[in-house]
Structure 1
């Protein structure tokens, strides 16, 4: 069962960790490339801020973004701001999300995300935690997938494995961690087993790692669609 209150507490810790890390930077650090192709660290931080506002919209029953073009333009416009402006935006948008998330609400209600995707409101705090935590890793500033809490890694692998389940372009795949934890994904044909540390499994599923640290049986490492 999803505990949105617990996820909110974990989100707040992750947000503070991100802001504390960025606070030690200077403007030059923001201009450095992130691990996301074509994005500087400034792009990543602008996206994290805009995502907070987008999820405020979701919780309020509004469209997540006006449209894809506006979303992309807002990130591009915010990417080159100096450090003090980026930090202020991170703090202010995090505070706005927190204020809305702590209002009395029916957390069992259905909300609409991007592209018509719907989900339970109770899942929104975890989805925001994912945005903050994975993009912290994307900054390439010393916080790695191995630093993420085990619960977070397991749940995000669950989510991503489910995302590719039933997809005919991905062979039926068993994901196996060294400690015996397993997940399944892919379509109905083929039998590939992918084994490796949970952090590497997550990195591969999330498009953050190329899978070089993983071993396979029954076929090559499957190609996954872009997220």
Structure 2
């Protein structure tokens, strides 16, 4: 069972780490490319702020975004802003998300996300935690997958493995870091492929942040994963 209060606290801590790191940048570095194709660091920061507000909408029963086009336009509009404006927006939007999470509510209720996806309200804080941690890595400013909190990394690996479970385009796969193991892909009596590597490399591959070059694969080639 998800502990939304625990995850809200984790989001707060992750956001503070992000703000501290971003606060060391300057206006020029915000315009430089991030690790996400076609996005500057400013795009990533703008997305993080708007995502916080979008998840407030989810918790309060409104559509997450007015439309995909509006979401994209808002990010493009906000990306070129100076560093101090990005920082203020990140802080203020994060505070709005925490305030929405503090309102007494039925956390077992089902909420609507993007593209027809639904989930338990109790998982929304974890989804925000994912956004903050992985996009911190995407900024390319010294925070790496190896720096992620151990609890977060294990939970996100399990979440992504579950996400691809039963996917018709992903063969049966067993993932292991030598201590823990996860299964994903199509159902089968015996996984056709075993993928072994560090926790960071496994998570990076599942999350589309690494190409799998650091992984060892037996039983076939490394599968191609669908976009998240």
TM-score when normalising by structure 1: 0.98
Contiguous gaps of at least 5 residues in structure 2: none
CA-based RMSD: 0.8
Q: Which moved more, 1:140-149 or 1:183-192?
A: 183-192
Q: Distance in 1 between matches of 2:104 and 2:28?
A: 42
> How many residues of Structure 1 are paired with residues of Structure 2 in the alignment?
226
TM-score when normalising by structure 2: 0.97
Is 1:197–2:174 an aligned residue pair? no
**1:82 Cα deviation after fit:** 0.5
Aligned match of 1:170: 170
Is 1:140–2:118 an aligned residue pair? no
Is 1:7–2:4 an aligned residue pair? no
Q: Distance in 2 between matches of 1:39 and 1:103?
A: 34
- SS of residue in 2 equivalent to 1:216: strand
Q: Which runs of 4+ in 1 moved over 2 A?
A: none
Is 1:77–2:80 an aligned residue pair? no
- SS of residue in 1 equivalent to 2:115: helix
Aligned match of 1:210: 211
Can you list the C-alpha shifts for 1:79-108, whole angstroms capped at 9, x where unaligned?
A: 100011101110110011111110111111
Aligned match of 2:225: 224
Aligned match of 2:55: 55
Can you list the C-alpha shifts for 1:54-113, whole angstroms capped at 9, x where unaligned?
A: 000000000000110110110011110001110111011001111111011111111111
Aligned match of 2:111: 111
Q: Distance in 2 between matches of 1:9 and 1:168?
A: 36
Can you list the C-alpha shifts for 1:148-167, whole angstroms capped at 9, x where unaligned?
A: 11111111111111111111
Contiguous gaps of at least 5 residues in structure 1: none
- SS of residue in 2 equivalent to 1:55: helix
Contact 1:168–1:188 (CA under 8 A) maintained in structure 2: no
